[in-house]
Structure 1
Amino acid sequence: MVAVLVEAEFLDRTGRRVKAPVGALAGEPLEERGPVWQPAAHRGSRATTTLWWAATTRKPVGFAGLERQRVAVELDFDRCVVAFSGAPVRLSWTCGGRDETVVADFVARQASGSRLLVLCPPARTARREERWGETQEVLREVCSAAGWRLHLPGPSSAVRTGNLYRAAQFRHPRHWDAAGAQALLAAFARPRPLREGALDAGLPALSALARAYHLLWRQRLSFDWETPLVPTSVVSAAGGAR
């Protein structure tokens, strides 16, 4: 398959909508830009229109559908990701006399400076898989021209997803307290049950668990994310911070 034209539509630094060849995307901080497409809820639609408040950027990120919500949570949790935005670029091309358009689900920037073009694979059908294979070829050409990497998120276990949603309830920085964090990290210097360690940190009982969940979200506390996150989960202090 050969795409005879690939064009990118995005917002520039002033918020003006522009169209340009994909080579112009090199160096563009689209992870900081607004969306070029807004999902709209309508009767009969199975998609869920959502704004996720991202702890990474402290800004809302928009998307449509539960699968994209899961990916947004994973990006927000990923310590390598320092910024991301939803639907910041529309890609259009012509192939075999057929016009095609794809809106990126997300663009993310990692701490290394590399950028990711993130698209969730469509639901599997024979026809869709054929078209999706062609689309991936074009997306790789786009990433090559822009100096990006293509990221196609794979499935995640229901347990891990549920754990991330639970910890994410405490992602807001209002749950952060430096002195409380040090007390919790000291309490979890050795592996122990979550509730036991939190209540042993010398903090008010009502806030101890909330702060412990916040440290789990920030990955200052660690546990096996493939096991259910419950008060008896074994937790220990971890290195690194967000």
Structure 2
Amino acid sequence: MAYADRCGSEFRLPLADARAVRFEDVAPVRAFKSYKGQRHLPGLWWSATVGGHIGYESWLERDHVMLLDFDPSVVGISSQPFWLFWLFWQSEAVKGISHAPDYFARREDGTAVVVDCRPADRRRPRDMAKFEATRAACTRVGWEFRLVGNPDAIVVRNVRWLAGYRHPRYRLEPVVCELLAAFAEPRPLMDGASSVGDEITVLPVLFHLLWTHELAVDVSVPLHAAALASAGVAGGC
């Protein structure tokens, strides 16, 4: 396998040595290209988890890096983190194959997950062979591998809304502590926000706390004024 550090230096190493590398801190092994007539829409996602930008090559990848960013167990994320290389026999000849997964994520407990994004209806046999080889490589290293397609539309809409308030600038004191106290017991979103003060001031802080999981709400159903929120598992005053 091969990877590049943030200074642009490239490294190759056996798969067995991959466990010791902090792939959450590496640079992408290939560029995110943009050109006229392009079918996919690449871009950069500002990640609250890493405090910087992470590249994506499609809106599907953008949605999944957003969900990784929202996951409270994830503490590091990188895109196009490494190349995997392997050989196989084809028509009595050896052919070299390579693949760069879409994302690498490090969890708080030190475990890791490698993610490839591809809609179910666009998984050709050639692609599936690469994904299965990547899964096998991850298993050997002790990483989880996920091949993901289109995520739940309601979850994506809810998290995308909360993502608009992911930046720390929305963390305003003493509103944070007042909201945490207001939602010590489950209550409707707007009811709790109104009890703290002017909604124009309070709601951005409330949405930020939902993003950071200091307040919890069910994102599997559409967010609305009467949605119940309560104290989460993260943070506190």
1:53 matched to 2:50: no
Q: Which moved more, 1:37-46 or 1:95-104?
A: 95-104
Specify which of 61, 77, 89 is matched with residue 82 of structure 2.
89
Other structure's SS at 1:73 match: helix
- For residues 87-126 of structure 1, the C-alpha deviation after alignment (integer angstroms, 9 at most, x for no partner) is 121222222233322111111111110121111135525x
**What is the deviation of 1:200?**
1.1
Give distance in 2, aligned partners of 1:79 and 1:218: 7
1:139 is matched with which residue? 134
Highest RCO, 1 vs 2 (Cα 8 Å, sep ≥ 6): 1
Other structure's SS at 1:74 match: helix
Q: In 2 relative to 1, CA 158–140 (structure 1 residues): closer, same or farther, beyond 3 Å?
A: closer
**What is the deviation of 1:178?**
4.6
Give distance in 2, aligned partners of 1:205 and 1:141: 51
2:29 is matched with which residue? 36
2:210 is matched with which residue? 216
CA contact (8 A) 1:26 1:145 kept: no
Give distance in 2, aligned partners of 1:181 and 1:157: 30
**What is the deviation of 1:173?**
0.6
Other structure's SS at 1:124 match: helix
Unaligned stretches of 5+ residues in structure 1: 1-7
1:5 is matched with which residue? none
Q: How many residues align?
A: 232
| Match runs of 1:146-161 below 5 Å | 146-161=141-156
**What is the deviation of 1:228?**
1.2
| Match runs of 1:227-242 below 5 Å | 227-241=221-235
Give distance in 2, aligned partners of 1:123 and 1:46: 18
Give distance in 2, aligned partners of 1:132 and 1:146: 21
Q: In 2 relative to 1, CA 184–238 (structure 1 residues): closer, same or farther, beyond 3 Å?
A: same
1:206 matched to 2:200: yes
**What is the deviation of 1:13?**
6.6
Give distance in 2, aligned partners of 1:149 and 1:216: 27
Q: In 2 relative to 1, CA 49–154 (structure 1 residues): closer, same or farther, beyond 3 Å?
A: closer
2:184 is matched with which residue? 189
Identity of counterpart residues, as a percentage? 31
2:56 is matched with which residue? 63
Other structure's SS at 1:185 match: helix
**What is the deviation of 1:66?**
0.8
Give distance in 2, aligned partners of 1:133 and 1:47: 20
**What is the deviation of 1:86?**
0.8
Give distance in 1, aligned partners of 2:128 and 2:51: 35
- For residues 194-234 of structure 1, the C-alpha deviation after alignment (integer angstroms, 9 at most, x for no partner) is 222112113x4432000000011011112221111233323
CA contact (8 A) 1:90 1:102 kept: yes
Q: CA RMSD in A?
A: 2.1
Using structure 1 for the length normalisation, give the TM-score.
Answer: 0.87
1:117 is matched with which residue? 114
CA contact (8 A) 1:31 1:85 kept: yes
Unaligned stretches of 5+ residues in structure 2: none
- For residues 177-200 of structure 1, the C-alpha deviation after alignment (integer angstroms, 9 at most, x for no partner) is 353211001212233322221121
Runs of 4+ in 1 over 4 A off after TM superposition: none
Q: Which moved more, 1:230-239 or 1:47-56?
A: 230-239
Other structure's SS at 1:26 match: helix
Give distance in 2, aligned partners of 1:99 and 1:120: 23
